[in-house]
Amino acid sequence: MSRALIILNRASDRERVQAWAAKAPWGTRVTFQEAKRTSDQNARMWAMLTEVARQVEWDGLKLSADDWKLIFMAALKQELRMVRNLDRTGFVQLGRSSSDLSVAEMGDLMDLIAAFGAREGVTFAEPEADHVQA
């Protein structure tokens, strides 16, 4: 087996991980990751980004929700990495995708968007409580 993924949801999943670990050859790499963001979190993030894009002008520009996502992702990581684009006429921001965020990291991202929105006077529509997990 070259690659496998087990999501721990029940005792039998833990038992399968233990059995595989006992049989794995030396040098096998094992990675444990937190659960990824939920679909409800993703929908809420895009709703928030859309409101920011609709209501906030930044440096004299109206930015798209996609642009705002990049800005908030850079702020969440507290780092900015850029390289020149292929024709050397501008720059490209490097970073990770929001789809790689854990549930907790996605919560942090939405908190960051909400705090920024509060400072900038953005009005966010309240999500339906039974559809959102933070």
- Cα–Cα distances (Å) from 72 to 7, 11, 83, 85, 91, in that order, read 29, 38, 19, 21, 18
Residue 110 maps to a domain: yes
Residue 113 maps to a domain: yes
> What's the pLDDT score for residue 35?
83
> What's the pLDDT score for residue 79?
63
pTM (two decimals): 0.67
Residue 111 maps to a domain: yes
> What's the pLDDT score for residue 128?
55
**Residue 124: pLDDT above 60?**
yes
In terms of Cβ atoms closer than 10 Å to its own Cβ (0-12, 13-18, 19+), residue 44 is: buried
Residue 34 maps to a domain: no
> What's the pLDDT score for residue 119?
95
CATH at residue 80: 1.10.3790.10
| Digit-coded pLDDT (tens) for 57-107 | 999 999 999 999 988 988 887 567 789 999 999 988 787 778 888 899 999
| Three-state SS sequence of the chain | CCCCCCCCCCHHHHHHHHHHHHHCCCCCCCCCCCCECCHHHHHHHHHHHHHHHHHCEECCEECCHHHHHHHHHHHHHCCCEEEECCCCCCEEEECCCHHHCEHHHHHHHHHHHHHHHHHHCCCCCCCCHHHCCC
Range of the domain at 90: 39-131
| Digit-coded pLDDT (tens) for 3-33 | 888 888 999 999 999 999 999 999 998 888 8
Residue 61 maps to a domain: yes
Domain count, the chain: 1
Residue type, 109: L
> What's the pLDDT score for residue 74?
84
**Residue 110: pLDDT above 70?**
yes
> What's the pLDDT score for residue 134?
47
Residue 22 maps to a domain: no
| Digit-coded pLDDT (tens) for 25-54 | 999 988 888 888 888 999 999 999 999 999
Residue 21 maps to a domain: no
Residue 18 maps to a domain: no
